[in-house]
Amino acid sequence: MSVLPFDQRDGFIWMNGELVPWKDAKLHVLSHGLHYASCVFEGERAYGGRIFKSSEHSERFRTSAALLDFEIPYSVADLDAFKQLVVDKNNFTSCYVRPVAWRGSEMMAVAAQNSTINVAIAAWNWPSMFDVNEKMKGIRLDIADYRRPDPMTAPSGAKAAGLYMICTISKHRAERRGYADAMMLDWLGRVAECTGANIFFTAKGVVHTPIADCFLDGITRKTVIDLARRRGLEVIERRIMPEELAGFDEAFICGTGAEVTPVSEIGPYKFTPGAISRALIDDYSAEVQPKQKAA
């Protein structure tokens, strides 16, 4: 299947204070962010033309930059407005939104305190990944070789480009082996997350999920926890060892891209997508829709 390259699409990208034609949104090959991973980003979705939890994403965007020792030169309110402008200018309703910030090309060494901080925002059409009935079949996950690092060795609270290197490697390996994605362990061998999504399990009606202290505490993750508790489900955030997977009934992943997606298999472990997964798919779908204002 032929896919139009992302640098050859039409539309507009917001970049450093102005909307520019899509194909003109470029950076120099000697940008610090490219060589030293001094780059942070967000992954967001718009539903019905409005970005879900836009301000929470903007706040995390600024926090991620601070963890990489630079400052986004725009406020949360500014970023929210610029993102919505991009969605509106491109006439999108259901789309993915990608803010990104990086150190520029003024300095080319490990230290780059005086580099300009560049910010860009793009958006592109991206409907839900699966029909709900197709989702309920569950996806298959490999178990990654690479592990999420000790939080004392990397800024694990940042949505930073460099932290995704091992995710790309792990997902490529999984796909070559016929899996949809890979589950990653943490540096001590405990269950952590997938390459771009958080993971949940159920046992006897209780929802279990790993503690997010060495990987991103996703905005979708927090939303799903809230939705489960609204349903009266108990949610336990705890350490989970791989051998415990044999005792769980259901498993599902969640993230901006995956939304809520059930899992049928993780390596040698099997799961049966069921009522809790289905309920949270439905609850999340309802939650992300723009709320109608009362007359």
Q: What is the pLDDT of residues 198-221, one digit of tens each?
A: 999 999 999 999 999 999 999 999
Confidence check: pLDDT of 294 > 60: no
Residues 104 and 229 in one domain: no
Q: Where are the alpha helices (DSSP H) in the chain?
A: 32-36, 54-67, 76-89, 132-135, 165-176, 219-230, 275-288
Q: Mean pLDDT, to the nearest integer, of 276-291?
A: 94
Q: Mean pLDDT, to the nearest integer, of 148-158?
A: 97
Of 105, 125, 145, the residue at which a domain comes to its end is: 125
Q: What own/partner pairs with CB < 8 Å and gap ≥ 24 does 50-56 have?
A: 50/84, 50/87, 50/290, 51/80, 51/83, 51/84, 51/87, 51/97, 52/288, 53/219, 53/223, 54/80, 54/83, 54/84, 55/80, 56/219
Residues 178 and 250 in one domain: yes
Residues 21 and 117 in one domain: yes
Return the residue matching tokens 């005792």.
247
**Assigned domain for 162 exists:** yes
In this structure, are residues 85 and 19 in contact, taking their beta carbons and an 8 Å threshold?
yes
Q: What percent of the chain has pLDDT over 90?
A: 93
**Can you give the pLDDT at residue 291?**
79
Residues 48 and 115 in one domain: yes
Give the CA angle between residues 143, 95, 193 to the nearest 5°: 20
DSSP state at residue 32: H
**Assigned domain for 46 exists:** yes
Residues 30 and 175 in one domain: no
Residues 101 and 117 in one domain: yes
Residues 153 and 281 in one domain: yes
**Assigned domain for 2 exists:** no
Q: Which two tokens stand for residue 215?
A: 């990987």
Confidence check: pLDDT of 2 > 80: no
Annotation marks residue 270 as catalytic = no
CA atoms within 13 A on the CB side of 76: 12
**Assigned domain for 30 exists:** yes
**Assigned domain for 1 exists:** no
pTM above 0.85, yes or no: yes
Q: Please give the Cα distance from 129 to 131 (Å, whole number).
A: 7
**Can you give the pLDDT at residue 275?**
97
Q: Please give the Cα distance from 9 to 175 (Å, whole number).
A: 26
Give the chain's mean pLDDT: 95
pLDDT grade for 134, boundaries at 50, 70 and 90: confident
Residues 96 and 161 in one domain: no
What is the sign of the dihedral through the CA atoms of 79, 85, 87 and 90?
negative
pLDDT tens digit string along 162-197?
999 999 999 999 999 999 999 999 999 999 999 999
Residue in 53, 83, 135, 159 annotated catalytic? 159
Residues 31 and 162 in one domain: no
In this structure, are residues 261 and 129 in contact, taking their beta carbons and an 8 Å threshold?
yes
pLDDT tens digit string along 70-115?
999 999 999 999 999 999 999 999 999 999 999 999 999 999 999 9
Q: Which residues contact 289 (CB under 8 A, 6 or more apart)?
A: 47, 48
Residues 121 and 240 in one domain: no
Domain with residue 267: its CATH number is 3.20.10.10
Q: Please give the Cα distance from 293 to 213 (Å, whole number).
A: 37
**Can you give the pLDDT at residue 128?**
67
Of 92, 125, 158, the residue at which a domain comes to its end is: 125
Residues 262 and 139 in one domain: yes
Q: Mean pLDDT, to the nearest integer, of 54-75?
A: 98
Residue 240 has φ and ψ, to the nearest 5°, of -125, 125
Q: Which residues contact 261 (CB under 8 A, 6 or more apart)?
A: 129, 130, 135, 139, 197, 252, 253, 254
Domain with residue 88: its CATH number is 3.30.470.10
Higher pLDDT, 125 or 129: 125
Number of domains within the chain: 2
Q: Please give the Cα distance from 124 to 211 (Å, whole number).
A: 32
**Can you give the pLDDT at residue 116?**
97
**Assigned domain for 295 exists:** no
Confidence check: pLDDT of 14 > 80: yes
**Can you give the pLDDT at residue 293?**
58
Q: Which two tokens stand for residue 119?
A: 């910010």
**Can you give the pLDDT at residue 71?**
97
pLDDT tens digit string along 20-35?
999 999 999 999 999 9
**Assigned domain for 73 exists:** yes
Closest CA to 189 of 222, 223, 144: 144
* Residue range(s) defining the domain that contains residue 100: 9-125
**Assigned domain for 4 exists:** no
User: Cα 215 to the chain's mean position, in Å?
Assistant: 11
pLDDT grade for 222, boundaries at 50, 70 and 90: very high
Of 75, 90, 125, the residue at which a domain comes to its end is: 125
Return the residue matching tokens 């601070």.
66
Q: Please give the Cα distance from 270 to 264 (Å, whole number).
A: 6
Residues 89 and 183 in one domain: no
